[in-house]
Amino acid sequence: IPLSVIFLEGLFSFIITSILVILQGFANSIFISSMYGICGFLPFKFIIGMSTGNGFAGLGVNIIRYIILFIYGNDTSRKTITTGSLWFFGIATLILTMGLVLLPLMTSHPYFKIQFYKSGEISEEDYRKALSEYGLSEEQELTKKDINNLSDDEEEVSRIY
């Protein structure tokens, strides 16, 4: 957004910036909805952790922004502003790329497969594979009905995981 303000002038700059803010709002709402959808399969403490993580991410973004402002100062030349913006958005792109790489790794973990089974998202065959990958024996295996009746009680959860 800062680049559109720097390189464009007048009403056109305002319109482009407004469109970018609207598109960013749409993307943010889709992202947050997806995150709550993914965390909705997990116990409640993970939803709280995801919300807390979003708060810390907001702090992290501002800290990175202030560090870049400190490094490049208040110089208002286009070169300084462009370089600072490129560093800021480069760091953001790196963090987003790490998230995109880690999401498939996370969802392929047996723990999450067992959670997906609780909500009916994967087949019983995939559930059995996840149990065996997690090292649970046949005697420890629970039926889908047993898993759905579990509470978030630590003692019951630790018996499975």
Residue 144 has pLDDT above 60, yes or no: no
The per-residue pLDDT for range 90-126, each reduced to its tens digit, is: 888 898 899 888 888 877 877 777 777 777 777 778 8
130 with 117: CB under 8 angstroms? yes
The per-residue pLDDT for range 45-95, each reduced to its tens digit, is: 888 888 898 889 889 988 988 888 888 776 666 677 778 878 888 888 898
Residue 152 has pLDDT above 80, yes or no: no
136 confidence band (pLDDT: 50, 70, 90): low
Between these two residues, 85 and 146, which has the higher pLDDT value?
Answer: 85
- Once rounded to an integer, what is the mean pLDDT over residues 9-14? 80
Residue 9 has pLDDT above 70, yes or no: yes
Q: What is the pLDDT of residue 140?
A: 58
Between these two residues, 2 and 129, which has the higher pLDDT value?
Answer: 129
Residue 31 has pLDDT above 80, yes or no: yes
